[in-house]
Structure 1
Amino acid sequence: MICFICCRIKMRENKNDGEIKMTQKSSASDEHIKLADSIKSVHANLRQRLRDGEQFSQVWSEHLLDDQVLESYSNAMNALANQHWTKLEIESEDTSRIIWTKKKILEYYHNGGINNQLIRDNNRLKRHQEKNEQVTKVQQGKEETKQENIIEIDKSLENKTINEQLKLLDVGSCYNPFSKFKEFDVTALDIAPVYENQVYKADFLNLNITDKSEFTEREVISLESCSFDIVVFCFLLEYLPTNRPRYECCARAKQLLKENGILVILTPDSCHQQRNNSIIRGWKEALLQIGFQRVYYEKKQHFHGLVFRKLGAFQHRLALEEANLPGIAKEESNSATSDDDIADDIVTVEEVAAKFVIPQDFNSCEPNLLKKRSEAPKLEEKNGTETELGFDQLPDL
């Protein structure tokens, strides 16, 4: 009888413990949903102002001066990252975009990835020369030029050691997640930084790119061109409410990267892999036209991970020819995207920038995300299917 009573008591205790844990989990879930919704509401407001006919330059300038909104956004993102995402990373590394990014960077720089890309360049050059073999035979001196253009595999790049820090620029960082990795020398920028995390304040779209990097205690004055091994855009492009500034960010990344340096783009998406394939394909084309070639691409549960390499001018031209893509008109672009004699066919910057779309661009209206979620109206894409907001799964990343 005593044993029976003890068992009943134990069962009640287990039940109560379970109820407490469920309550705690529900409370945490509610909190991170609220944080995510406050972040998404900022994005939605910027997009809505453009739909209402305001110019991006005006909307963005006013946004940068709205200290209350920026501080609220920064606090929400910092809390979301440190209170929720870090726990999920421990439970499952597969959900972590930070761990995914680190692995891909080290695979590229430490495990032969860059060497494979240089071999790829050599093979592309050989195909180009074989294609034009008959022409080169009848032109005096072409054989010598052919040999000069052969790219030597740079073994020093392949042999970068773990003790050599890679220079990483984290744009839109807020809380500087890559600073914990000893492999990286990190410069973190944000328009609403958490200063205790060693993040500098800077508007990347208007940042000076010169021959020297200069900083104050809290802000970036300028960054040196061609000085970084890695530039990271983690959920950055979705913040921007239209495609032209997304293009400008990528063009600026090219200016800041060393040749063969890599641009890492992470974009949120909890749909199945094929759902937004056409959007990702458009991004790949536009990035190649700017001067980046894809190295890695992976669709994870809640995000797309893309890694692109900055091509040299000659390899950029060959890559465009093989992809049958036109280059960007010099008179329409800046030095970040123009190479001498880049291609016979050209397009305008606007035509290339138009490829940098996100699913939210197709929404004619967006709900107030701070309303009760059950009250928010469903949104429809052009194809008539219900669309998720880009950061709907933000707490799960």
Structure 2
Amino acid sequence: MQSAHEYRKTMASDEHKQLAQYLKDVHSNLRMNAVTLGAKEAWTRHCKNKDTLLTYAEYMEKLATVFWEENYGNEESLATSRIQWSVELCKDYFIKKEYVKFSAKELEISKKLNIQLSNKESFEETLELLDVGSCYNPFRSYNLFNVLAIDLCPANLYVKECDFLNVHIGKETIVQENIVKELKQEAFDIITFCFLLEYIPSSDLRITACENAYKLLKPGGLLIISTPDSKHVGANCKLMKCWQYTLACLGYTRIKYEKLKHMHCIGFRKALCKDVALRWATIHKKPYMDYSIHIPQDFSKIEQNNIIPNIDISPDDFKELPFSDF
């Protein structure tokens, strides 16, 4: 006979699985609709489905703040580790001024390319952070940041409503009735994509997200990406190299990469001159690299269209979110 403690644990586990399955189903349905309707149309319809978005936000917040925390015991949780990794990178880069060495390296490369750098870093003591796909604004507890947290459907009032793929980028940041109408170009020191890119249903739209981030970042600013993967570090190395190549083509240089137990954590710097990042892409391109940001769940849909990336990888190699590991 189950004890009261065991019963509560079983019930919690069942709820955890139900919440996680709902999120996975939303992701899967969005990708399938992208195949049949086209990614942009599927995304437009998804953004209008307020009931689904509201339920997704509620479930995601509960998973992150309750189940991810509880199921790790004394280990650093998935929710905590992705945030803490980002915070530590920002402290090293901005507070300890590690950006200076990257700036010097870019200057060295620009001289080889016979390019005059017109931009330079300019960061304030309180860093402007745009948290995209934030859900519940986990960065708000850090005094280091002035956070603008955005999501399709906010889980609380600390988050503003915004479709990052279609938001207007202009001369100022405008928020009306908790909805972002416009984001200011080159206004942010940091932009975070925490478990965002695998939500977006196609490579082209993921690239759009990274392009928008580039427009919004200050010169030398950071794009921080965390993406789930429970495999060993070498299992998806080609996939991660493709991401690095594509981001370099957009004007980013990768400054830090770490494979944690359940995810990849990557820091990209907006190069002071896009040609400096493009130089890396040109020199280091391998035959398997293409201009794309794929996740393995894309692949079966891509094969239906006879577009098969030259990457030796299986959809099973890349967990959508590591819920099943608990």
Residues 200 and 127 of structure 1: is their aligned pair in 2 closer, same or farther, counting only changes over 3 Å? same
1:229–1:261: 8 Å Cα contact kept in structure 2? yes
Q: Which stretch of the first structure deviates more once superposed, 61-70 or 226-235? A: 61-70
Query: When the two structures are aligned, how many residues end up with a matched partner?
Result: 312
Kindly state the Cα deviation for residue 56 of structure 1 after the two structures are TM-superposed. 1.8
Are positions 1:320 and 2:288 aligned together?
no
Equivalent residue number for residue 45 of structure 1: 29
Matches within 5 A, 1:191-270: 191-196=152-157, 198-270=158-230
Query: Which one-letter code corresponds to 1:175 in the other structure?
Result: Y
* Pick aligned residue for 1:357 from 251, 272, 294: 294
Are positions 1:167 and 2:137 aligned together?
no
Query: Which one-letter code corresponds to 1:50 in the other structure?
Result: A
Kindly state the Cα deviation for residue 393 of structure 1 after the two structures are TM-superposed. 0.8
Equivalent residue number for residue 320 of structure 2: 391
1:254–1:310: 8 Å Cα contact kept in structure 2? yes
Query: Which one-letter code corresponds to 2:126 in the other structure?
Result: Q
Query: Which one-letter code corresponds to 2:214 in the other structure?
Result: K
Q: Take 1:68 and 1:234, find their aligned partners in 2: how far apart are those partners?
A: 23
Q: Take 2:315 and 2:130, find their aligned partners in 1: how far apart are those partners?
A: 36
Unaligned runs of 5+ in 1: 1-15, 130-145, 327-350, 366-381
Are positions 1:74 and 2:86 aligned together?
no
Deviations 1:198-248 (CA, angstroms, capped at 9, x unpaired): 111111111010011111121011011000000001111111111100000
1:175–1:194: 8 Å Cα contact kept in structure 2? yes
Matches within 5 A, 1:39-118: 39-51=23-35, 53-87=36-70, 91-93=74-76, 95=78, 96-118=81-103
Residues 126 and 19 of structure 1: is their aligned pair in 2 closer, same or farther, counting only changes over 3 Å? farther
Residues 237 and 22 of structure 1: is their aligned pair in 2 closer, same or farther, counting only changes over 3 Å? same
Kindly state the Cα deviation for residue 62 of structure 1 after the two structures are TM-superposed. 1.2
Are positions 1:25 and 2:9 aligned together?
yes
2:34–2:201: 8 Å Cα contact kept in structure 1? yes
Kindly state the Cα deviation for residue 125 of structure 1 after the two structures are TM-superposed. 3.7
Aligned to 2:136, what secondary structure does the other structure show?
coil
Aligned to 1:75, what secondary structure does the other structure show?
helix
1:269–1:304: 8 Å Cα contact kept in structure 2? yes
Residues 27 and 113 of structure 1: is their aligned pair in 2 closer, same or farther, counting only changes over 3 Å? farther
Query: Which one-letter code corresponds to 2:148 in the other structure?
Result: T
Q: Take 1:181 and 1:101, find their aligned partners in 2: how far apart are those partners?
A: 11
Q: Take 2:117 and 2:213, find their aligned partners in 1: how far apart are those partners?
A: 27
Q: Take 1:270 and 1:116, find their aligned partners in 2: how far apart are those partners?
A: 32
* Pick aligned residue for 2:147 from 159, 180, 186: 186
Kindly state the Cα deviation for residue 30 of structure 1 after the two structures are TM-superposed. 2.3
**Percent of matched pairs sharing the same residue:** 33
Q: Take 1:275 and 1:296, find their aligned partners in 2: how far apart are those partners?
A: 19
1:46–1:241: 8 Å Cα contact kept in structure 2? yes
Residues 362 and 176 of structure 1: is their aligned pair in 2 closer, same or farther, counting only changes over 3 Å? same
1:93–1:99: 8 Å Cα contact kept in structure 2? no
Equivalent residue number for residue 261 of structure 2: 301
Aligned to 2:183, what secondary structure does the other structure show?
strand
Q: Over alpha carbons, which structure has the higher Rg?
A: 1
Query: Which one-letter code corresponds to 2:268 in the other structure?
Result: F
Aligned to 1:107, what secondary structure does the other structure show?
helix
Unaligned runs of 5+ in 2: 285-289, 303-310
Aligned to 1:266, what secondary structure does the other structure show?
strand
Are positions 1:36 and 2:23 aligned together?
no
Give the TM-score, by structure 1 length. 0.71
Structure with the higher helix share, 1 or 2: 1
Kindly state the Cα deviation for residue 33 of structure 1 after the two structures are TM-superposed. 2.0
Residues 78 and 384 of structure 1: is their aligned pair in 2 closer, same or farther, counting only changes over 3 Å? closer
Alignment root-mean-square deviation, CA: 2.9
Q: Take 2:318 and 2:249, find their aligned partners in 1: how far apart are those partners?
A: 28
Q: Take 1:20 and 1:360, find their aligned partners in 2: how far apart are those partners?
A: 40
Aligned to 1:173, what secondary structure does the other structure show?
coil
Q: Which stretch of the first structure deviates more once superposed, 382-391 or 62-71? A: 382-391
Equivalent residue number for residue 290 of structure 1: 250
Kindly state the Cα deviation for residue 21 of structure 1 after the two structures are TM-superposed. 3.7
Q: Take 1:106 and 1:385, find their aligned partners in 2: how far apart are those partners?
A: 36
Aligned to 1:100, what secondary structure does the other structure show?
helix
Q: Take 1:322 and 1:210, find their aligned partners in 2: how far apart are those partners?
A: 30
Residues 54 and 20 of structure 1: is their aligned pair in 2 closer, same or farther, counting only changes over 3 Å? same
Are positions 1:275 and 2:204 aligned together?
no
Residues 384 and 297 of structure 1: is their aligned pair in 2 closer, same or farther, counting only changes over 3 Å? closer
Kindly state the Cα deviation for residue 395 of structure 1 after the two structures are TM-superposed. 7.4
